[in-house]
Amino acid sequence: MRWLSVLALGIACDPAAPEALGSNTGDTGVDPCADAAITTWETFGAGFVTQHCQPCHASTTNERQGAPDTVTFDTEEEVLAQADRILARATGDDPDMPPEGGVGADDRYLLEVWLSCE
Ligand code: HEC
C-alpha cells in the first residue's frame, strides 16, 4: 500500500486538490486519510485556526464580528468538538468561513483531511 500514501501526498501539494479529493470518494480508490499522519493540531491545526479563524472565534478577541460566543476555537478540544460544523462551513465546494475567504485550496484540503481522518 506504500504507493497509496505517496500518491496522496502528491495530491496534498497539488492546487487541484479539492477536485482530486472529490474524486477520491468515487473511482480512484485513493484514501485521503493516508495524509492524516502529517495533519495534526501541532503540525497544522493550531496554525491554521490561529491565522484564519481566531480573529473572530478566539475567546480573547475583541472583534468577534458577530461570531457566536458558543463557537470558540481556542483549543484542539474545542475545534474537534465542532468538527462537523467546521467541515460544513470551511471545506467542500462552497465554503463560507472565514466570511472574507483567503484560505488556499491546499489548506482547505488539509483541514478536511485533519478533521475527517481523526
Ligand atoms: C471575520 C470573522 C470570522 C472569521 C475570520 C471566521 N468566522 Fe466563523 N463565524 C463568523 C460569524 C459572524 C458567524 C455567525 C454567522 C454565521 O453562522 O454565518 C460565524 C459562525 C461560524 C460557525 C457556526 C455556525 C455553524 O454553521 O454551525 C462555524 C462552525 C464557523 N463560523 C467556523 C469558522 C471557521 C472554521 C473559521 C476559520 C476557517 C471561521 N469560522 C472564521 C465570523 C468569522
- Residue with the nearest Cα to atom 37 of ligand 1? 53
What does the block give as the cell for 89? 462551513
Give the mean pLDDT of the chain: 82
State mean pLDDT over 87-104: 96
pLDDT digit string, tens, across residues 3-41: 554 444 444 444 444 444 544 455 566 777 876 678 999
The answer to whether the beta carbons of residues 40 and 114 sit under 8 Å apart is yes
Residue 56 beta carbon below 6 angstroms from any ligand 1 atom? yes
What pLDDT shows up at residue 10?
Answer: 46
Range 62-71, long-range pairs (CB < 8 A, 24+ positions) = 65/99
State mean pLDDT over 50-69: 97
Q: Residues 6 or more apart from 22 whose CB is under 8 A from it?
A: 93
Distance CA 37, CA 95 (A): 24
Distance CA 84, CA 48 (A): 17
